[in-house]
Chain A
Amino acid sequence: MNAEPIPAISAQQIAGTAFGHDEALVEVRDLTVRFVTRETTVHAVNGVNFSVRPGEVLCILGESGSGKSVTLRAMMRLLPPRRTRIEGSIAIDGQDVLALDKRALGELRGGLVSMIFQEPMTALDPVYTIGTQIAETVLRHKGGSRAAARARALELLELVKIPEAARRLDNYPHELSGGLRQRAMIAMALSCGPRLLLADEPTTALDATVQIQVLILLRRLQRELGMGTIFVTHDLGVAAEIADRIAVMYAGRIVEEGPVADVLRAPLHPYTQGLLASTVHGQSRERDIEAIPGSPPDLRRLAAGCAFAPRCGLVQSECHAAMPEPRYTAAGRMARCVRITQAALAAAE
């Protein structure tokens, strides 16, 4: 190990600079999440580190089963407590989330932090009108009069551009189209002015012409309200539309991280490179797409070493020894691959 060229910047140098503790809204350190049953243990999240500054959008990009939703749910403590083992630390606005009691958690959820989902019906209650649900949330977290809460609900529906908002207040969720339901869920998530928005594929189920409307809306609201946002997606195009930074997840680990333009234009990790090459976008019809062979690993039996090694075209013996530690080519530009120093040096030449 010690014969290796020194990475461009060490991890120690990074801490305390632009990504230091004082500024971070979110600070996740060494997060592991395992689901334990008598038969098996699923290693869903395996040592994840990231931070989010106020007003910043971090996109977690990854394929199905890579641990994106579990990471978000851990941050809201929404995982089934009995079967879930969580280790590491999660700090949101200085609060130690894993240590919060029930009451403090209730205040956190929907107050400081809000979450939106792919399927709005998981967040909306089918038996109450949209207006009632939003007003209730406002009352619970902010107090005040019923009339004021309802006025706030109307304001929020207008904020998310629901046409004829006053009439829609009295609609039940099932009376709204998919796009409007998604907007209503966003309105509810914003009702208490969260400083952090957790978004789990909120536009994935929407039609193309509706998805772009909701994405643009979210991007605008996030900027205007200065919300830190973690946006989970498996879609590179969606990440390109909304992210400031991207963290690429594979088998429960962040394997690459950096500013959105850098990650999409000059990916460092072979997995990210493969993902970009295998995403169909204007390739020649004459040739096959460069697909990544194989499929993601079984999280019940994770081998030591780089989890991508069995599928990687650049694999070398070192890859199987241990999961490569994060390596930085610039501040905030990280990848976990043994080849990074070589690649970074070559790029710098």
Chain B
Amino acid sequence: MSATADQRDIGGPAQPLLIARNLAKHFAARGASKSARVRAVDDVSFTLFKGETLGIVGESGCGKSTLARLLLHLIQRDSGELIFDGEPVGAPRGITVAALRRNVQMVFQDSYSSLNPRMPVQDSVAFGPFVHGRRKSEARRAARDMLVKVGLNPDLFGPRYPHELSGGQKQRVNIARALAIEPRMVILDEAVSALDKSVEAQVLNLLRALKQQFNLTYLFISHDLNVVRYISDRVLVMYLGRVVELGPSEAIFIQPLHPYTRALLGSQPSMDPAHRIEQPPVTGDPPSPIDPPSGCRFHPRCPFAEPVCAQRSPELGAWRERDSHVAACHMLDPASGHSKAMQ
């Protein structure tokens, strides 16, 4: 289905598969005062190119899953725009939400809860194709094929129930389920995070092979920087609902621009007992996304913060093309007035 011209490719190779513009989602904060808002996703923009893997990193609560759910229209955005292969999502002359979901599938961390416990896994995999209009027998055949593709013998594993599978096997079923309706894009939200290292490596290899085979585009969300570096072409770093840095994977890891990205990388254990980390790169916990800090949201923890950082929110910088490397920090803006700003 993939090697030759993809019938579904409407916009052509140069048209980004997905463009997110100024996406925002705020929630009412539970338990807090009426006016308090969780700014889960705040003014997030990025472009996802056909065939690439974009990694999204950031600490717990920074809005990664909320962003994923916005992209799939599982929750309504407060504002912003979403363009899939050149067509605005949910707009009068654009692509419908149903059509979007045929094109974009998601795999979650918690592989157990996303499979029906009372259904043999082959039926879970066949369910998608069936709902999307295939005949029952066809859907079943598609499910068997897909189980083979993810490395599970359909005769042995197909009839099993989720509780009869290991974590790695369940995650393979979830991947099969996501791919069974032949999506063009897959959002992987901590899809390997719950797996043991030896099994995680198997699933990462599988994901890379399937991406090639089916010409897929991945949005890969993870808190494991090593894994993100390995699998992503480009990386987007989030902090408290905002994008703080975006660029090619190697550039981000070799020459991070934002103080938060640097702190995050510097917090990674060394794997070498002779070079242990003696000083934590930053102190304190990430603040609550309820009424987050003014200006640059990282300023209370940033070793370089100056008054301007609390007063004004830094811009992400001019993102022009695929390889642009940009970060939202006043030190990178000559006009900001920060004493360390590059002139």
Contact = CB atoms under 8 A, between A and B. Distances in A.
Interface of A: 63-64, 163, 177-180, 207-213, 215-216, 234-238, 240-241, 243, 260-261, 264, 274-275, 278-283, 285, 288-293, 295-296
B223 to A, nearest CB: 7
B59 A238 contact: no
Contacts of B225: 208
A261 B276 CA distance: 12
Given A216-B277, A260-B273, A278 B264 contact: no
Interface string B185-224: 0000000000011111110110010000000000000011
A237 B249 CA distance: 21
Interface stretch (B20-28, B99-107, B226-234, B303-311): B226-234
A312 B11 CA distance: 48
27 contacts: A64-B167, A177-B288, A178-B60, A208-B225, A210-B285, A211-B267, A216-B279, A240-B270, A240-B272, A240-B276, A241-B269, A275-B197, A275-B198, A279-B197, A279-B201, A280-B204, A280-B224, A280-B230, A281-B271, A285-B231, A289-B205, A291-B199, A291-B204, A292-B202, A295-B198, A295-B199, A296-B166
A330 B64 CA distance: 48
Interface residues of B, number: 47
B273 A209 contact: no
Contacts of B59: 207-210
Given A208-B264, A278-B197, A291-B202, A264 B271 contact: yes
B264 A234 contact: no
Return the 3 tightest CB-CB contacts between A and B, nearest first. Answer: A237-B269, A291-B201, A278-B201
B333 to A, nearest CB: 24
A240 B283 contact: no
A59 to B, nearest CB: 10
B280 interface: yes
A216 B285 CA distance: 15
Given A237-B268, A295-B199, A209 B282 contact: yes
A234 B167 CA distance: 16
Interface in B140-180: 166-169
Given A209-B59, A282-B226, A289-B204, A234 B197 contact: yes
Contacts of A215: 269
B119 to A, nearest CB: 22
Nearest to A210: B285
B286 A207 contact: yes
A329 B137 CA distance: 60
Contact of A241 (B198, B276, B281): B276
Nearest to B286: A207
Nearest to A237: B269
B293 to A, nearest CB: 14
Contact of B196 (A234, A238, A264, A283): A234
B278 interface: yes
Given A209-B264, A238-B269, A274 B286 contact: no
Q: Could you say which of A179, A207, A279 has the most chain B C-beta atoms within 10 Å of its C-beta? A: A207
B202 A280 contact: no
A211 B281 CA distance: 11
Contacts of B318: none
A207 B264 CA distance: 9
B64 to A, nearest CB: 12
B1 interface: no
Contact of A207 (B168, B202, B223, B229): B223
Q: Could you say which of A178, A179, A279 has the most chain B C-beta atoms within 10 Å of its C-beta? A: A279
A238 B286 CA distance: 21
A295 to B, nearest CB: 5
A288 B285 contact: no
Contacts of B251: none
B14 interface: no
Nearest to B225: A208
A278 B281 CA distance: 27
